[in-house]
Structure 1
Amino acid sequence: MDRKSISDVIENYLKSILGNDEQIEIRRSEIANHFDVVPSQINYVIKTRFTLQNGYLVQSKRGGGGYIRIERVKLLDDVDVLDMLIDAIGSSISENDAFDVIKTLYREKVISRREGDLMLVALSKHTLDMNDHNAENKLRARLLVAFLNRLRYES
């Protein structure tokens, strides 16, 4: 039997609420109460599963009337989103995070499956194969930013 973690369940729940809408606003405490978990569990799910690399923009407002807004972003409809994605990559990115970016580009139909496969191969640990993990992540970030810049100017 395939057992899902509570994080997977919360992620799926939030995605089901989002459905076909562009954005949702939730209250962290209400979701935590719904799943009988601590609010930090909700923060963890949002911070790790609803990232810009995965095609989401998250904003929050703290306080009594506070909320968390999760917005699905379309990458090429807004060049600013690509710029934010490039900023989020920064000067270093792990293989897993880079692969998440590529999956999002494919899911949003920014790139074809073939282009995605080529990008995955180019950014893989096996291809970069450096003995220095930090140098490998820096090279991966430079390559991915170059790919994104090329995509941005092609549209």
Structure 2
Amino acid sequence: RDLLGKSECIEVQRRQLAQMFRCAPSQINYVLETRFTMEHGYLIDSRRGGGGFIRITRVNWFPEPDFLQTLMEIIGAEISGEGMAILLQRLVEESILEEKESRLLGQIINREIESSSTMEEEKDELRARF
């Protein structure tokens, strides 16, 4: 993330990262793809094989002419509690929300979900509707 602060896109060799961290190249993919998600504001493009690489691109959601539509596409039909927290943090980073507003919104949504009679497996769907 520090490298991306200076650039909108970086490309790294999977094999070199794997050697540096002493792990299998497939583990590098998993870690990057779970840490650099669309909710976090990143796109991952990877190519396997001898010259394989991983390209991480920072997505600028805002200002978009229709940023609400973009937000709805990112959230989709359901979003986990962790996903919501990540998304709210991203809105703070983009100066769409203040930190205080983000915490308040998260608390309100969580309280509504926890106080509802919704079954556990439907809570992510309800969270997305909020």
Question: RCO greater where, 1 or 2, for CA within 8 Å and sep 6 or more?
Answer: 2
Aligned residues: 128
Unaligned runs of 5+ in 1: 1-14, 144-155
Q: Determine the structure 2 residue equivalent to 1:93.
A: 79
Structure 1 residues 94 and 30, CA, compared in 2 at 3 Å: closer, same or farther?
same
Shift of 1:26: 1.1
1:133 paired with 2:120, answer: yes
Letter in 2 for 1:98: M
Which amino acid is 1:95 matched to?
A: G
* Contact kept? 1:52, 1:85, Cα under 8 Å: no
Match of 1:31 in 2: 17
Runs (4+) off by over 6 Å: none
- What TM-score comes out, normalization by structure 1 length? 0.70
Q: Aligned partners of 1:72 and 1:34: how far apart in 2?
A: 23
Q: Indicate the structure with greater helix content.
A: 1
Shift of 1:67: 2.1
Does the 8 A contact of 1:55 with 1:104 survive in 2? yes
User: Contact 2:4–2:10 at 8 Å: present in 1 too?
Assistant: yes
CA RMSD of aligned residues (A): 2.3
Q: Tell me if structure 1 keeps the 8 A contact 2:15–2:52.
A: no
Residue segments in structure 2 that go unaligned for 5+ positions in a row: none
